[in-house]
Structure 1
């Protein structure tokens, strides 16, 4: 068993097994079963590369054998920072087979985040592309490896430079040398939380709980072997990975189309070429698609479902999906820690447009409570708490934080403010935590503030959200300067040079002489946000 992992209490685990939630299979076994059922059907399309289920399973076997020969073993942590490409799926399943744990990093993460992930997880390996989006990941890997002694292997998809080429790792498997695979109750991977305090926490997901999440997503979203899912959001995000996403589509026996680009210019031709039936977007991207389709008169007759999630989708924009794109909108509200909510495909239009869905499992438990953890009346807003067969019971190696994030009876404090309709649908009002949701990318204010405070020209800093028509929220940094006021552009350059992901760099910077305070002497971020509102209205 992985140390630092908080398992479900045995009485709950037994209940979930008895009720058939947890099937007792691993991801490695799942892929083998699908290869037998759908061997010659296309599992994955990445550029010009097409892989059947049988071919994908065989490549996973060969990569698992090569990774084992490299020295990677069960419970070893491996950071994966690959874009939407076939190698991402093959590497993930190869590690699943070994019982090694992928640690999912996003393409936009830079040295600050990757070094932290590597240190905290004690990762032994790091899988990267050579270049992507104009960025050379090999240089990043050199910098991180120099700082993290445990990081023994750098494996590169593409031109490897001084490191190991991923293609050279594949080898014919020797059954006598491979260890027994993991148990279904073992942790399968570590995902990253949005994080409201400092750098991301790590979320341990087991084979049992995550495969159940896939199964329920497939059932609710109506996927079948005829489904074709287009992945345009970064594959490492929980949403395009499992809701139903890449893994859910493979569970259903459908076809996954991987795209590195998300713009209409790239995505619309892929939808037409491969007869895509379902895809998933965040609200800013959905608006871009809607505007492009309306301006061009684009028709996408194969597209049956457009999922929108990651942040709240405005009702006005939601109402445009069916008239403009001719498909059903499915709102998705979920979290990497577990709970996933969907509007149903046959829901009335007012439910689809005005709510963020209802829990996908009958075993999901949801509470809306006040500041004292007392349940509020139905329809009133409060803090959203949840527990269930695929919602974690604790973050990895985070005992102190877990005491704050989970109730004594195992409910996860999501940090969301929401209300419930009489039909059990959630209406999400916002966040209680000090976190900014920038178009689906979560920015922890404390992390950015700590970086700002390292600048010699910054005496104090506070990061707050500001409304944005397309992204939902953008960030504004209020800075009390230390001496002469530095240039805003210089502050942003300083943050990038510290290895901060670009989406975390403040969109706006305001200099002030002091911060407004609350009655107990804390910085009043509410007052700072109100200052922004006043400035915009002048």
Structure 2
């Protein structure tokens, strides 16, 4: 497939970022090659099953994957969906694809056929890599359903057992047959290295193109700000398909400085605490709900966490009280991280006063991150006043792929990305997040659009009208509530969940609560009055305790 039409940085910006040394003209896997030459026997990667790779072995594995994919019939510019848990094969497939000039599309393990099919169509993906069974879910069946729905998708790769299905290709057999020879590529560093996905603020997730230049800078600069070095042992417990654990600084940043990455297949306290103790982990990252869970579990756990010095927390706003508990109870430093897969990152720094660390979401990563806070009319607001965050810079994209309406809505004519986040800026430059300008729900740091779920549930035969809103929740940050005007007999919460499951919607998007109403209020412009709904509905948990949807 040919390269899609992309909104790239204007030439004057590209020249400036190159002259400043932000963009170095190197392909994204070059640091692995560097470390393989400098520290070939250094441990680069280990997963929760105990499988490990040195830098020389990781570099060789990336080459074998690259040559295997090319021998399989993929070619430079093709796209491959990667939907895998945190295992070594995710990393080798990621780097091998990039090295071959094949563009990975990063997909969460929690995504299902609606989301995966949408991303596959938008990217024109020709291949799709999955595990066999994870958390009792058969991803091979998912892959075959997506292949039926997306004409471009022809090749399915399985890490694990194929079950004897001749339409599935075994990763171990494919890569095991590859020649052990270096793959030499001359990739243009201004081209797309990989596609991330958005949180889906306007419906289904959008494709975010990250180039070799901007994403390498994203990871390298983050590693510098966070003090990563060759002694860093980073635990990735969040899905590596997320930007946060992948490159903020995450896995990529750790590799750039020659540290060691530990992969947790799932982020439960037992798994995470055991890996920290066993591998002497120094840094890990969590979303606020996960950090709170770790705090609760630590009261009954005696694993040796003395090596841990930093917990980065991002993905949603961290309550100051939780930050203080991490400091006092776990005895480690909290680093707040606020950013987005589209680009801009903010970090609290090691030298920041404790009150700023606990109450702000940090300040921008790059000296050339341009920040505007604007009112509803697009006029700049003063410091300390709340405004919508607009940004542009050396690692913030200029547009999505295959999403013209979203580009019109989300990017200004002069290249600023309208984030939709409402923030205040302190005189120190630190940002305080105050909420969202749109209708996105941030459930336990998994973001999705209320509009998307409303559109699905309007097809339910018992639903006449519906509004899905985010409501405050002590555990999740936000829970989702379905406010339903029924046709006749009202549906139950289980009815709505079963309906969404039948449509292949990711479970984290299922409503946590339900409220039956006679009328859904509208604004004077004829739109759902979400503010009024939030004030009047779902303030109490009418459906029982909130938990992860079944």
TM-score range (shorter-chain normalised) is: over 0.9
Query: For residue 40 of structure 1, what is the aligned residue in structure 2?
Result: 41
Q: Aligned pair in 2 of structure 1 residues 373, 67: CA closer, same or farther (>3 Å)?
A: same
CA distance in 1 between counterparts of 2:237 and 2:86 reads: 8
Query: For residue 459 of structure 1, what is the aligned residue in structure 2?
Result: 464
Query: For residue 9 of structure 1, what is the aligned residue in structure 2?
Result: 10
The 5-angstrom pairing of residues 186-197 of structure 1 reads: 186-197=191-202
SS in 2 for 1:437: strand
SS in 2 for 1:320: helix
Query: For residue 448 of structure 2, what is the aligned residue in structure 1?
Result: 443
Note the C-alpha offset of 1:294: 3.1
The 5-angstrom pairing of residues 31-430 of structure 1 reads: 31-46=32-47, 47-161=49-163, 162=165, 163-170=168-175, 171-173=177-179, 180-296=185-301, 299-430=304-435
Q: CA deviation digits over 1:436-460, x for unaligned, max 9?
A: 0111100111111111011111111
Note the C-alpha offset of 1:301: 0.9
CA distance in 1 between counterparts of 2:184 and 2:216 reads: 22
Structure 1 window deviating more from structure 2 (351-360 vs 30-39): it is: 30-39
CA distance in 2 between counterparts of 1:75 and 1:440 reads: 32
Note the C-alpha offset of 1:491: 1.6
Structure 1 window deviating more from structure 2 (311-320 vs 180-189): it is: 180-189
CA distance in 2 between counterparts of 1:96 and 1:157 reads: 18
- Taking structure 2 as the reference length, what is the TM-score of the superposition? 0.95
Note the C-alpha offset of 1:296: 3.6
Q: Which runs of 5+ in 1 are unaligned?
A: none
Q: CA deviation digits over 1:155-203, x for unaligned, max 9?
A: 0000013110001111444879x67442111101111001211101110
RMSD: 1.5
Query: For residue 496 of structure 1, what is the aligned residue in structure 2?
Result: 501
Query: For residue 28 of structure 2, what is the aligned residue in structure 1?
Result: 27
Q: Aligned pair in 2 of structure 1 residues 180, 253: CA closer, same or farther (>3 Å)?
A: closer
CA distance in 2 between counterparts of 1:411 and 1:278 reads: 32
Q: CA deviation digits over 1:221-250, x for unaligned, max 9?
A: 101111000111011000010111111111
Note the C-alpha offset of 1:508: 0.8
SS in 1 for 2:537: helix
SS in 2 for 1:224: coil
Q: Which runs of 5+ in 2 are unaligned?
A: 543-550
CA distance in 1 between counterparts of 2:438 and 2:330 reads: 35
| Contact 1:311-1:440 at 8 Å conserved across structures | yes
| Contact 2:236-2:263 at 8 Å conserved across structures | yes
Q: CA deviation digits over 1:466-518, x for unaligned, max 9?
A: 10112110100111112222232112111111100000001111121211121
Matched positions, count: 536
CA distance in 2 between counterparts of 1:493 and 1:337 reads: 33
| Contact 1:97-1:181 at 8 Å conserved across structures | no
Q: Aligned pair in 2 of structure 1 residues 496, 18: CA closer, same or farther (>3 Å)?
A: same
| Contact 1:79-1:103 at 8 Å conserved across structures | yes
CA distance in 1 between counterparts of 2:140 and 2:274 reads: 32
CA distance in 1 between counterparts of 2:531 and 2:3 reads: 41
Query: For residue 545 of structure 2, what is the aligned residue in structure 1?
Result: none
SS in 1 for 2:194: strand
1:473 aligned onto 2:478: yes
Note the C-alpha offset of 1:534: 5.5
CA distance in 1 between counterparts of 2:527 and 2:329 reads: 47
CA distance in 1 between counterparts of 2:351 and 2:135 reads: 39
Structure 1 window deviating more from structure 2 (202-211 vs 315-324): it is: 315-324
CA distance in 1 between counterparts of 2:513 and 2:276 reads: 36
SS in 2 for 1:303: coil
| Contact 2:515-2:538 at 8 Å conserved across structures | no
| Contact 2:493-2:511 at 8 Å conserved across structures | no
| Contact 2:60-2:180 at 8 Å conserved across structures | no
SS in 2 for 1:319: helix
CA distance in 1 between counterparts of 2:320 and 2:5 reads: 42
| Contact 1:460-1:479 at 8 Å conserved across structures | yes
| Contact 1:293-1:299 at 8 Å conserved across structures | no
| Contact 1:299-1:325 at 8 Å conserved across structures | no
CA distance in 2 between counterparts of 1:535 and 1:173 reads: 61
- Taking structure 1 as the reference length, what is the TM-score of the superposition? 0.97
Structure 1 window deviating more from structure 2 (484-493 vs 243-252): it is: 484-493
